[in-house]
A and B are shown apart, each in its own frame.
Chain A
């Protein structure tokens, strides 16, 4: 299996305060990784830093994509390489519809023009997977969407953009049981359609039920406290993070 994302000794800070204290992990093509850990451990920070968020400064270490150093690349270049981040709190953008935004994003990421008709077909198929009301396509991006609708819209983008690595930042948080199910179906569909890799940041194991997890990383206080296979998740479900703390 060839190496997709490799993070070495990554340290990162927001406004002078170091949050990540040296994280290393490698994701190969087609693998599904899970990141767990208590609140404030730096899980979401890691996702954002891999995407290139300007909110954080990388103070040490490197991020490689297929062997190339992308530590200093802007988020749009990373997106074009095939990295996708599903936001924990998707941003509302008034005045631009979900459909026309996603078409622009599709053209940017793929570097190809797509006819409106062809795009609509693609969009419709993806919306059906997520049981989304077609009317959402013509609504302003995330504006007035409920928490669950926003998360679905993120997975919709995932299904249309088909990245090689999808980082899902607490996509399941704040969702009711049915919504978690729908989102899980979407993630599974992504996996089946693309064979892409996943980095899932979560508190909840429901979302993992339909997936085969290759590797689990437990992050505590900006460091990897434990790593293992899927069985690690079961352990955490039973006894929480306590044994990794302090």
Chain B
């Protein structure tokens, strides 16, 4: 299980042309304290942040690359600078964006202006108005929703950020968390005061590409007691970056008797190494609900963790992963029960196709004090052909016998009989398979707001028709 998995090289010719024009811009390789100081100065960090970045860099230099998951040998860590600063003053042209990504935008029905922006090559797109409207409504409820960089400089939030930033995911966590701590850029800051229940979901969609953020973005959400928030990160449009590393970080603080619902659909371009870290801590009687769709990327490591610190706190994780040709997606979730009467529920689906590898990796830890806790893990995998792979690696560490733990895993193939049944009703083979897969993915799509569910279904249809990737 722990041996390295070899993945066929993706066709890089689509992307390689970019390196030529930029070659002269990157003189240094490897990150140095100078590079970090430079980044920090450019961003106008407060002093503590500069120190934090430098400290993270030290940790980064000491830590080893992860050796237990899909191979990330294709990541050229000696040239890490090219990952960190590729877009700096880059004169990118829409014509340079690979055709498969353009096609996907078209099929998702995203307007041209947005496409250019989402692809990271356009200027701010025309949704400013929408964005401002959302902001106004949100602001009236006392909720803060802004980008992390400006919030750090706002004296109302500066202390709050300092005392929460990378406290849940410390730079010592793993090598890419350390890297994130050193080079993070962009992202969202959300603060929901006590007793505020925000009915409309907040969507990062409107801001993600405003400043080329997205590659090392940091999301920090603090929900105080007796509050409610639904936050939606990303969208189904593929994000194209020349640099093929994404190491974001999400930290969620859920107060007593509060609920935070965190929905995300990630669809990275297929040259991307996605090494993302997401973590939540939940107070007494509080609840974290994760809804997670993982599409795209070449390699993914993604296991959102819920730490149930308050008595009676709950966590739910609903996820779907779709691995196509040349993709090795290692996803799952982690649950830590740290208090009595806590409960966690994991329900995932994974799909692999055309040689894709999808691995479900879960971990449930129930500590001695977490008596009366419940945990249920259910994962189902669907393989669409004989050359694809699907693995399940559940881990459980239960330190009390006063807990109720359940686990169930199912791996199956798409049945010829079902395809024939649907085809006998007029659906062509691809549509029949897509319908079966959409149905299989319904546990996630039904948890999403309608427009996202529709986008996700479109995405599945596109992947099924094999016209991209």
Instruction: Report which A residues bind B (CB closer than 8 A).
Output: 51-55, 74-76, 78-80, 84-85, 87, 90-91, 93-96, 101, 104-105, 108-109, 140, 157, 161
Contacts and interface: CB of A to CB of B under 8 A. Distances in A.
B442 A54 contact: no
A96 B429 CA distance: 17
B154 interface: no
A104 B427 contact: yes
Contacts of B440: 94-95
B435 A101 contact: yes
B159 interface: no
Nearest to B418: A91
Contact of B435 (A54, A87, A104, A109): A104
B78 to A, nearest CB: 46
B419, B422, B435, B436, most chain A CB atoms within 10 A: B422
B420 A53 contact: yes
B451 interface: no
Given A95-B442, A96-B442, A109 B425 contact: yes
B438 A95 contact: yes
Contacts of B426: 76, 79-80, 105, 108-109, 161
B416 interface: yes
Given A54-B420, A55-B416, A105 B439 contact: no
26 contacts: A53-B420, A54-B416, A54-B419, A55-B417, A74-B423, A74-B428, A76-B427, A76-B429, A76-B432, A79-B423, A79-B424, A87-B421, A87-B424, A91-B417, A93-B418, A93-B422, A93-B436, A94-B439, A94-B442, A95-B439, A95-B440, A95-B441, A95-B442, A105-B427, A108-B426, A161-B426
Please report whether the interface of chain B is mostly helix, strand, loop or mixed according to DSSP.
helix
A157 B424 CA distance: 11
Contacts of A79: 423-426
A102 to B, nearest CB: 8
A92 to B, nearest CB: 8
Nearest to B419: A54
A112 B441 CA distance: 27
Given A95-B440, A96-B438, A51 B427 contact: no
A166 B421 CA distance: 15
Closest 7 CB pairs of A and B: A95-B439, A95-B442, A108-B426, A105-B425, A75-B423, A79-B426, A109-B426
Contacts of B422: 93
Interface in B387-426: 415-426
B385 to A, nearest CB: 15
Contacts of A74: 423, 428-429
Contacts of B438: 95-96
B435 A96 contact: yes
Interface in B434-469: 435-436, 438-443
A101 to B, nearest CB: 7
Contacts of A80: 426
B454 to A, nearest CB: 13
A20 B436 CA distance: 31
